[in-house]
Amino acid sequence: MSSDKTVRSGLRVLLVEDEIMVALLLEDMLAELGHAVIGPVASLGKAVEMAQSEALDVAILDVNLSGKEVYPVADTLAARGVPFIFATGYGNGGLRAAYRHLPTLSKPFLRRDLLRVLAEACPAKHV
């Protein structure tokens, strides 16, 4: 687990997810990794609001929020310069073209997958 060392603990992570079981799993994993979870938020409006207002290091965004796409949140975050990670069952092929190059967490995922995408989104030197 060499990648663990590159991620610093104590990140403030915005979690946007409309399914409770997945949200719980991520919360557990992030908590185990020593990060603080902001959310989880299931509604798009609230997520956008929080993406604007909260102090954040990174965000994990479920692409599909009850049939609505999460891109307004991503746009808001991108505008603020906050890195974010898409969590999706579609794989990165299902993403809007502008975001296809960003790290993606493909469901279901292993803890090391989560670590890897966090490390990619928040490289250690940056932290």
Partner 1 sequence: MVRQKQNGKSRHGPAEDRRSAPGADRHTASPSPGKDDLSRAALVVGLGASAGGLEAFTTFLTKMPPRSGMAFVLVQHLDPVHKSLLVELLSKHTAMPVMQAEDGTAVAADHVFIIPPNATLTIAGGTLRVATPAPPREHRKPIDAFFSSLAEDQEENAVCIILAGTGSDGSLGLQTIKAHGGLTLAQAGFDETALLGMPSSAAATGLVDEVLPVERMPARLLAHARHLHDMNDRKAPDGTRLDAAEHLAKICVLLRARLGHDFSEYKEKTLVRRIQRRMQVLQIDKFPAYIERLRKEPEQLDLLFHDLLIGVTQFFRDPAAFAALASEVMPKLTAHKKSSDEIRIWVPGCATGEEAYSIAILLKEAMIKAEVTPRVQIFATDLDEHAIAAARRGRYRKPLAGVSPDRLARWFVNDGDDYCVIKDVREMCVFSAHNLARDPPFAKLDLLSCRNLMIYLDAPLQRRLMRTFHYALRVDGYLFLGASEGISRHGGLFTVVDKKHRLFQRGDVAASLPSAAVGAAPAQRHPAAAQQPIRPSGDDVDLRARHAVEKYSPAYLVINRQHEVLRFSGRTGHYVEHSSGAASLGLFTILRKELLPAVRSAVQKAFATRQPVVHDDMVVAVNGHRKLVTLIVEPISEEPDAELYVVAFQDRGIVGGEGAAAETAASADDRVRALEKELRAMRQQLHSTIEDAETINEELKSSNEEYQSVNEEFQSANEELESAKEELQSMNEELHTINGELNSKNEALADSNSDLKNLLDSTQIATLFLDKDLRIKNFTPAFAEIFHVRATDRGRPITEIVTRLSYAELKRDVKKVLRSLSMVEHEVVAAAGGATFVMRIRPYRTVADVIAGVVITFVDISDRKRHEEERARLAAIITFSKDAIIGHSLEGTITSWNRGAEHIFGYTAKEAVGKPLAILLPQSQVDEAPQILERLARGEQVENFDAGRVIKTGERIDVAMTISPVLDERGTMIGASTIAHDVSERKRSDELRVLMVNELNHRVKNTLATVQSIAAQSLKGAADSKSREAFDSRLVALSRRHDVLAHGCWERASLRDLVLQELGPYQSENGTRAAVEGPDTGLTPKAALALGMAFHELATNAAKYGAFSKPRGRVRVAWEVQGSSQPMLRLTWTESGGPKVAKTGHKGFGSTLIERGLSLELNGSVRLDLDPGGLICTIEIPLPDGGGGPANV
Q: How far is the CB of 106 from partner 1 (least distance, A)?
A: 7
Nearest C-alpha neighbor of 100 from the set 65, 71, 72? 71
Please answer whether residues 95 and 86 qualify as being in contact, where contact means their C-beta atoms are separated by less than 8 angstroms: yes
Name every residue whose Cβ is closer than 8 Å to that of residue 68 and which is 6 or more positions away in sequence. 44
100 binds partner 1 (CB under 8 A): no
Residue 21 contacts partner 1 per CB under 8 A: yes
DSSP run (H or E) holding 73: helix 71-80
Is 103 an interacting residue with respect to partner 1 (CB under 8 A)? Answer: no
User: How far apart, in whole angstroms, are the C-alpha atoms of residue 114 and residue 79?
Assistant: 24
The SS3 of residue 45 is helix
Minimal distance in Å, beta carbon 22 to partner 1? 5
Contact between 90 and partner 1 per CB under 8 A? yes
- Scanning 8-16, 52-60, 76-84, 108-116 for contacts with partner 1 by CB under 8 A, the matching segment is 108-116
Residues lying near partner 1 in the complex (CB under 8 A) are found at 19, 21-22, 24-25, 28, 64, 88-91, 94, 106-111, 113
